[in-house]
Structure formats: C-alpha cells, structure tokens
Structure 1
Amino acid sequence: MYTALNLSTSDDFNMSEFDSQRPQELSHHSVKISIIIVLGVVVTLGNIAVLLAITSSVSGWSRNSRYFLLSLTAADSAFGLLVMPLNLWVSLLKDYTEGPDALCHVVAFCNATVYSTCMYTLATISLERYIAVFYPLQYSSLLTRKRTLFLIAFAWCFPPILLSPISLPDGIIQVHFSSASLVCNPSYSTNVGYSLSLTCVIFFPCSVIMTFANLKVWCAAKRQRLKLRKYDSARRSRLNVPSRVLVPVMGAYYICWTPCMAAMIYNAVTGSSVPEWIEFVVVWLPTSNGFLNCIFYFWINRSFRKKFYLVLQKLALALCPELASTFVCCTTSKMQFASGILDNNNSVHGRSSSVSSTCTLLSVA
C-alpha cells in the first residue's frame, strides 16, 4: 500500500512538472517558428531582388561570373523556398513522441543537399576569381563555357549522390526530428564515420579552397594598392575594396558555417547534444549566409546597383506609369551625380540641377 501510494505521488509530481514546463516549451516553439519565418522571408526577398538584376546583363561581369553567381543565388534561394517550408511543415505536423519516418528522411536529405551545394558553389566562385586575377590571359582557355557549366553541375549533382543514404528510411543513416532546432537531422552519434567523412569531403575542402583563393587575391590587391600609392597620392583616399569585400565574405562564411560543423562533430564524437538554444542557433545560422551573400557579392558592386535601379524603373513603368516618371528622374539624378563625381566632370552640377528641376516639374504635374 505504501509503495503504491509513493508511486502515485511520484507520478503526480512528474505530471505536474510536465504541465508546468509545457507552456514554456510552447512559447519557445512559437518564438523559434517566428524567427525561422522572418529569416526565410528576408533570404527569399533578397535573392529575388538579386535574380531580377542578374538575369539581365550586368556591365563589368563576364559570362562565367554570371553563371556562377546565378548558381549561388539559386542555392541561397533554396534556403527560403525549400529548406524552411519543409522543416516548418514537419515541426507543425509531426508529434515529438513519434519516431523517424520517411518524410523526415526526405527533409533531412533536402537540408543536407542544399547546405552542401551552397558550400560547393562558394568554393567554385572563389576558384573562378582566383583564375581571373592570376591568369587573366589564360582565363578564356582555362574556364571555358563547358568547364564552367561542369563545375556548376558538379556543385549541384555531387551532393545528392553523396548524401543519398540519408533519404533511405531503412538505410544505414538514422534520422530524428529535433525539437530544439525544429529540423530533421541525421543521427551523427550513431554514424560517426559517415558524419566525419561528410565534413572531410564537403566542409574542409571548400574552406581550404575559399581561404587560399581569397587570401591570395586579397594579398595581390593589397600589393597593387601600395604600388598605386607611390605614383598617385590621390589613391590614398580610395576605399580599400579588397578589405571591403573579401574580408566580409570569408568572415561571414566562417561565422555562419563553423559553429554548425563543430556542433555536428561534437555530437558525433561525444554522443551528446549541445544545449537547446545553442543547437537552434548553430543549425539555422548557415541559412543567414544566404542573405549575407546578397550583400557582399551583389549590393557592394556598383554595376549591380546600377542595373537594379534600371530594373526597378522598368517595373515602376509597367505597374504604375503615373508615379514612375518621378522615380525614374530621381534615380537617374542620383546615378548621374555619382558617375559625375567618379569621372571628375565639372558639368555635374548643371546636369544634376537640370534633372532635379525636371523631377520637380513632373512631381507638381
């Protein structure tokens, strides 16, 4: 009788503790879903804006560069259009007490494939820029259109082949749904060799290629900048373009991807998981790299911004002809004023004043 009473009291205590923790878990769940939705919207809108401009010709960008950047934009767009909706769908429909199923295996396969494709694409872009800087005369022969498309096809086709065991429900890779990160993840602790081989085949080779290529390009640009300073004192006030582009690109890559890889290796080696919110951050942090790529690879580029303004002008003309004239004039005024400063043209003030007067007249009309 005493034992039964004791067990009953213990059960009641556990149930009351579970009931007290349930509202907190629900609040955490809603906060995580809100963060994922906001991140997905930002990544999607940013890459849609990039696609609008890059699908048309951008001055100063070669054909091969456009192909690689289109591949990167497509891979980053997959974060917001494929990875996030699938994981949100599973997190809303799946009961946490249920075991792994075929749907969770498919979602985990899509997650790993998109992440790997993004890393391979970043590595191919770094390789293309390295060849363009150090072998400019042999660029056309080294990176032909066929080889460029082959590298892009490799970045998109090799990850699904390498990660195909994750998609098999009865395969060697076990998959579970994590309530901490709201993601279907492979159980790396039960497949240590496979998880370590993934990092050795995907993360470390891509990191080595990106670090080597960008570091060499940065050093070459720095040497060239120092030489220009000796012959032209006006160059001293010029912005440090390599530090403004290459350093943020590499910094964002390592900040977004290294914690995720470290957590995966830690889980595989020790068999234990990291704390809840740390796991959520490190799992979804690589997704933010899809938005940072839009800033570092595109918005810093003057030719891209100019092309994007032209695309907005066309959209404004098509959607709202009444307001488009004012937008077109004001945008043209900014572009002409900026180009005049760069060209050191003395007639900029007169042209900008004329355009501003025309904008004022159109606005009044």
Structure 2
Amino acid sequence: MFSNYSNPGDSNLSDADHQLHELPHRSVKVSIIIVLGVMITVGNIAVLLVITSSVAGWSRNSRYFLLSLTAADSAFGLLVMPLNLWVSLLKDYTEGPDALCHIVAFCNATVYSTCMYTLATISLERYIAVFYPLQYPSLMTRKRALLLIAFAWCFPPFLLSPISIPGGIIEVHFSAASLVCNPSYSSNAGYSLTLTCFIFFPCSIIMTYANLRVWCAAKRQRLKLRKYNCARRSRQNVASRVLVPVMAAYYTCWTPCMAAMIYNAVSGSSVPEWVEFVVVWLPTSNGFLNCIFYFWINRSFRKKFRLLLQRLAAALCPKLAGSLWCSSSAKTQFVSGVNNNNNSVHERSSSVSSTCTLLSLA
C-alpha cells in the first residue's frame, strides 16, 4: 500500500526474462497472500457470528465498535486481497498506470485507513468507559457512537479520493515486488506526509494514550487490592494480557509500512523486493490478530461461540448434540445473556466489563 513501485527499467533483463525470474517468487507470494486471506476471512466470520448476537459483559456501544472493526478486518480478506491478486493476474509487469490500478489502490488505502480509525475509536470508547463509568451513558450515547463509526468509514475515502483519479496528483503503478497497485508517493512527498499526519499519527497517539492510561489504572487497582489481600491471582494480569498484545501487534504491523512510505517519499527510491512485500502485506495480518486479542481472549466470547456451535450441531445432528451437551443449560445461559443486555444498569457496568474487567475487580 505505502511503498514505491518497482521500475521495470531498473533491470538489465529483458521483459520475458524478468517475468521468468519473478515467477518462483510470485508463486510463493501468491500462496502467502491466499493463506493470510483465508485466515482473516474465517476468523472474522466466526467473530461476526458471535457479536451479531448478545454477548454477556459487552455493552451495546461496544458491540457496535467491534462490529465496525470486524467489518474493516474482513475487508482485508474479502476485498483487498482478491482485488490485488486479480490485478496481478491481469497486468503485465511492463504496463504503466491505468484506471483499474487507481481504483484498486484507492480501495487498499481506504480499508487500511478505516481499520486504523476504527482501532482508535475503540480505544477512545474504552477509555471513557473506564475513567467516566457514571457519565458513560451520557458521554457515549448511541448516536455519538454511530457518528464515530461513520467518521471512521467516511473520512478516509474523502481524504484519499485523489488516489482514485487517473492522471491526478498521485501516480499509481502496479508493483511486481508486492503484487499490489501502489501509489507512487515519491512523486508527491508533501501529500504522502499529509496522509501520515491525518491517519497514522493521530490514531497512534489516541491508542497509545488511552491504552496506557487504562493499563496504569489497572495496575494501581491491582496494587491497591493486593495491599488489602483481596486481589485474585487469576485476574492480576488481565490488562497486560489484552492491552499490551493489542498495542504490540498494532505497532508491529503498521510501523514498518508507515516507515517505508515516509522513506520512499523522502528518498525517492524503493526498498528491496521482499522488504516491500512484507511491509505492504504485514498490516493485513493485524486483521487476524485482532480476532485473537479483542475476541478469543474474552471468556464471554468463547462461551457464546461454544453455544453457537452447540446450536449448529443440534440443528444438523440432534442425536449427536443431545449426547454431548446439555441443551437446557445452554438455553439458560443464552436467555440470561439476552435479558442482561437489555437492562440499563447492566448496560453501564458491561461497558466497563468489556474494558478488561478493570473496575469489576472491586
């Protein structure tokens, strides 16, 4: 996405020899992209099946934000990867920019940016839930939550619209190194730096500040409870097990991509082939890691997923399901979760519970 394109004139090989030379690497790259796309799609479909229904401990607004994140992550596997693989099959390495590449590059940049904005809005919502639990219903109303989600999805297309215009200020070429239609940010360094100032840096600042404050609050709470010998050992590292991996995965996946973009814009030269491939596709792996850190670590999510599997097995094979699980217990848990989710008092506490159960320790 944010790297310079490979210039065919840089090679001394003929066009035919160049294509034969790239073929083994291309097969490996296509295989990696397909495997990553399948993992992202399957993981987010499982997440979507769960959070479209009520999950105990998750507020209504939390579900809205997590649905938005799941949709953005799913777009990696359902939109970004198929489009770029399709273009890589249609285009010859010697072809120049065209309208199709501009549209694909615009889709790539929009999905990447929307994912970052969505992660930032989730961090903001959880920050408010932890530090302003009593004011949460008035501060984070349903309308405001939906407006934040709409901003995360609508502002990136507006900001990145110049990429979609053939012959505009941003040149777009197909990169044989990353198998992606890449904007040539080196042709307009000012615009590329503007994108980082409006997308990566603001989102990173919001996520870092909000999650760091939440982590510090959890640490103080843990020390206070430990002082009075009322902290449970099983809950001592809840914040560390969620917040630290989330931030580590975010910076690991996105920082190399942004660094390559700034390097290309400033220096005007491209990074090595495999470095370009890794930094361009590494952010998509964040779409799979989000499934783990935001969902599978959560016990309520795992319980609800097992319940959905039980219900699916009961529909497909009632005899087998009856011998393996107790359906009455599952139905009781399901009804209890639905009723609790509709309770206004639980709505307030669940918004806090979804933030790593920080305040529920008391």
Tell me how far 1:329 sits from its aligned partner.
4.5
1:82 aligns with 2:79: yes
Choose which of 251, 254, 269 in structure 1 pairs with 2:251.
254
Amino acid at match of 2:132: Y
Amino acid at match of 2:120: A
Residues 19-76 of structure 1 show CA distances to partners (whole Å, capped at 9, x for unaligned) of 7665441010000000000000000000000000000000000000000000000000
Tell me how far 1:15 sits from its aligned partner.
8.8
- Indicate the residue corresponding to 2:204 in structure 1: 207
* Whole-angstrom distance in 2 between the partners of 1:18 and 1:163: 33
* Whole-angstrom distance in 1 between the partners of 2:85 and 2:234: 49
- Indicate the residue corresponding to 1:11 in structure 2: none
- Indicate the residue corresponding to 1:10 in structure 2: none
- Contact residue 170 and residue 188 of structure 2 kept, 8 A: yes
1:188 aligns with 2:197: no
Choose which of 136, 142, 146 in structure 2 pairs with 1:139.
136
Query: Are the structure 2 counterparts of residues 22 and 163 from structure 1 closer, same or farther at C-alpha, using a change threshold of 3 Å?
Result: closer
Amino acid at match of 2:205: V
Residues 148-201 of structure 1 show CA distances to partners (whole Å, capped at 9, x for unaligned) of 000000000000011111111121111011000000011000010100000000
Choose which of 235, 242, 245 in structure 2 pairs with 1:245.
242
Tell me how far 1:236 sits from its aligned partner.
4.1
* Whole-angstrom distance in 2 between the partners of 1:163 and 1:259: 20
1:299 aligns with 2:296: yes
Residues 69-113 of structure 1 show CA distances to partners (whole Å, capped at 9, x for unaligned) of 000000000000000000000001111111111110000000000
Name the stretch that deviates more: 231-240 or 70-79: 231-240
- Contact residue 171 and residue 183 of structure 2 kept, 8 A: yes
Given the two structures, how large is their TM-score scaled by the length of structure 2? 0.85
1:120 aligns with 2:104: no
- Contact residue 225 and residue 231 of structure 2 kept, 8 A: no
* Whole-angstrom distance in 2 between the partners of 1:149 and 1:184: 32
1:34 aligns with 2:31: yes
Amino acid at match of 2:74: S
* Whole-angstrom distance in 1 between the partners of 2:296 and 2:302: 6
* Whole-angstrom distance in 2 between the partners of 1:271 and 1:248: 34
Structure 2 gaps, min length 5:
1-10, 334-362
1:222 aligns with 2:226: no
Q: Which runs of 4+ in 1 moved over 6 A?
A: 14-20
- Contact residue 222 and residue 231 of structure 2 kept, 8 A: no
1:110 aligns with 2:107: yes
The equivalences for 1:155-166 within 5 A come to: 155-166=152-163
* Whole-angstrom distance in 2 between the partners of 1:88 and 1:327: 43
1:51 aligns with 2:48: yes
- Contact residue 61 and residue 145 of structure 2 kept, 8 A: yes
Name the stretch that deviates more: 14-23 or 159-168: 14-23
* Whole-angstrom distance in 2 between the partners of 1:215 and 1:145: 26
Name the stretch that deviates more: 116-125 or 230-239: 230-239
* Whole-angstrom distance in 1 between the partners of 2:90 and 2:17: 23
Q: Secondary structure at the match of 1:184?
A: strand
Tell me how far 1:115 sits from its aligned partner.
0.3
- Indicate the residue corresponding to 1:354 in structure 2: none
Amino acid at match of 1:44: T
- Indicate the residue corresponding to 1:73 in structure 2: 70
Ranked by relative contact order (alpha carbons within 8 Å, sequence separation 6 or more), the top structure is: 2
Query: Are the structure 2 counterparts of residues 23 and 99 from structure 1 closer, same or farther at C-alpha, using a change threshold of 3 Å?
Result: closer
Tell me how far 1:316 sits from its aligned partner.
1.1
- Contact residue 229 and residue 236 of structure 1 kept, 8 A: no
Rg comparison, structure with higher value: 1
Query: Are the structure 2 counterparts of residues 169 and 216 from structure 1 closer, same or farther at C-alpha, using a change threshold of 3 Å?
Result: same
- Indicate the residue corresponding to 2:97 in structure 1: 100
- Contact residue 76 and residue 291 of structure 1 kept, 8 A: yes
Residues 304-337 of structure 1 show CA distances to partners (whole Å, capped at 9, x for unaligned) of 111111111111112222332244359x79xx9x
- Indicate the residue corresponding to 1:313 in structure 2: 310
* Whole-angstrom distance in 2 between the partners of 1:74 and 1:270: 35
Q: Secondary structure at the match of 1:280?
A: helix
Q: Secondary structure at the match of 2:134?
A: coil
Choose which of 276, 287, 290 in structure 1 pairs with 2:284.
287
Q: Secondary structure at the match of 2:249?
A: helix
Structure 1 gaps, min length 5:
1-13, 337-365
Please give the root-mean-square deviation of Cα atoms over the aligned residues, in Å.
2.1
Tell me how far 1:233 sits from its aligned partner.
5.7
Q: Secondary structure at the match of 1:165?
A: helix
Residues 265-302 of structure 1 show CA distances to partners (whole Å, capped at 9, x for unaligned) of 00000000100000000000000000000000000001
Choose which of 57, 61, 64 in structure 1 pairs with 2:61.
64
Tell me how far 1:144 sits from its aligned partner.
0.5
Amino acid at match of 2:286: N
Name the stretch that deviates more: 43-52 or 314-323: 314-323
